[in-house]
Chain A
């Protein structure tokens, strides 16, 4: 049938079909119509929920489009007489004002109620500060009792936010440079991250699992590579995660990793903090990101290997096969698998025997801006007073990278 249509129309039809088919995808991890927590359900469900409004809007759109099409074809100029010219039809005009007003009021009342419900924060049992910058998210957990689990020292991580499943978590969102926007479609709506301001957002996931999202406010060069995830763990696993994040630093014993520690201190520590790392004279190694980066922050790498993605959750620390395994794991098994992270068992028949995605991390250390475009040309930093936006290419040798990888593998 398509063959009979002119080519341009066929292309348009195909494009529309493509959109429709995309809507049927089974593995759509960012599908707003598959809520996985109480806040997303509040948005999705009930009177004024997006489901019904979507249908209502669809019906209105269908009627309007049908009328427009009807008029276009019915009154097309075929040389017929000009129809009778009239001015004004009070009944029609009043009707067409009142009907939309009624529809909008019907939509508005439950929607506004929902906005108030979503803004409540008195049932939140845990608080996480979320700070955006070009082009990754930082999460820090102040000292508190988080859903029954004591956090005794502040925890800081990036890319993936780990929360206890079933607990209402209050996010307090801000930014260090430009405006970003935090969005986990299956858990809640979007919230802008504005420098100097603090925006609240509730997060709750019913079941352990990983819920992904991406920055939704255009924020510069690598906006498209600024992704994020919320990882919900069962309560015990969350406690394990917290305890692990708070564990004291141990210097490597392995010779290669020990050399890596030295490399890290000389090459990386000016931007990246590793808590507990000391110089040979015992003084702490402290990062000065404010002297190197526009945002004044770089991801804290103390527990890098407890994450499954890096650089704005854009690249995987675990191989594709292991990611499939983790993301598709039933919720009872998810928490344990996530805690194993890069040490998970690789699925049988997978291309690589281990889950650690060494290729990606090596590539990052070899040439970070080659993987993710960033403003890091050392000869072109005059507009920022010598500060980078992102991680520069450090010109490391393969031997240095070997040492660094060995060292980073122990940051778990």
Chain B
């Protein structure tokens, strides 16, 4: 009698040969040769192993012992039903759904099918490995745990983090603050308790942790269903206006990065000028033109040293049919600072509008932008 393993290998050999023939007939082009060679190599390899397997009868039964094929491990019935075919079936259904709906569904289903196949194969193999069930479980674990644990841990953590993020998104700003203070405190308290009562059973801790995890995921799902809180959209300030608008609120007031500043633009009651950054030259020369390298983003700091609010607007040119490129700070209060990063993509000669720094919509005073 042929053992199950031998049958599988003979089957694989036959399938490889048939595929090689079909592949050779149907596929054209440079890939065809490689494909046929690959499939034929597989056929040869399978054939060889099948031959050895038939000869040694799966290596686990002395071939001469009469009736051994009914008693050896490989011939025993699997010890129980396996759930993996069911999972694989769900996966295949997912493949079909994914094929007509969204690629991501298809991908997930593919992973499920592959995982199910691997799990199923290893389970079937391990259950026949010996007639000691404990040993069988051990070798199954040795093979699959390095794969299963990281995946399960990732999924579990992912669910936790996702739950958390949903809670954060739906809680209001103020509630969120208290919520997280409370959660943090709870965590700390729990840890302290565990640390003090060393005797607390493993099971108790695991149980409490699991409960907490379920709570987070549960509340997370609930929050996700409820939807996230309204997050205000900040409209951009309108650059060519000197009126304070909605976009001028909530803009950062004090720039934090002053080391990398390309130039400081100063507005006083009598003057509007640029001082080059990173250069405390002899007398901090006040320039009325500013040369910026083309296509390089540079940062400006705006100092409003007057008693009125003001806006720094950079008109960065109108090239061809594209709209004029304009960037600006929010309204900067009296004696305040603003921050602006600008990029001039082409030279002023190519622009149909002047390229300059100005105050909101006013064309003068201005600092000419030069782009070498």
Contact = CB atoms under 8 A, between A and B. Distances in A.
A170 B276 CA distance: 11
Interface string A94-135: 000000000000000000000000000111110101010000
Interface stretch (A48-56, A281-289, A398-406): A281-289
Contacts of A131: 293, 296
B197 interface: no
A197 B281 contact: no
Interface centre among B281, B297, B345 (most CB of A within 10 A): B281
Contact of A174 (B279, B296, B347, B372): B296
A122 B296 contact: no
B291 A154 contact: yes
A143 B296 contact: no
Interface string A138-149: 101111100000
Given A195-B296, A289-B295, 20 more contacts: A122-B281, A124-B280, A125-B281, A131-B293, A142-B370, A142-B372, A143-B370, A154-B291, A154-B370, A154-B372, A170-B279, A172-B278, A196-B260, A196-B341, A199-B260, A199-B278, A200-B278, A200-B279, A286-B350, A296-B294
Interface string B162-196: 00000000000000000000000000000000000
A297 interface: yes
Which 6 A-B pairs have CB atoms at the shortest separation, nearest pair first? A296-B295, A154-B372, A142-B291, A156-B372, A200-B278, A197-B260
Contacts of B372: 140-142, 154-156, 300
B283 to A, nearest CB: 10
A174 B293 contact: yes
Contacts of A188: none
A214 interface: no
A172 B347 contact: no
Interface of B: 257, 260-262, 276-282, 285, 287, 289-291, 293-299, 341, 345-347, 349-350, 370-372
Nearest to B371: A154
A143 B369 CA distance: 11
B296 A172 contact: no
Contact of A121 (B262, B280, B370): B280
A207 interface: no
Nearest to A296: B295
Contact of B285 (A140, A144, A197, A288): A144
Contacts of B296: 131, 174-176, 195, 296-297
Nearest to B351: A286
Interface centre among B277, B280, B299, B371 (most CB of A within 10 A): B280
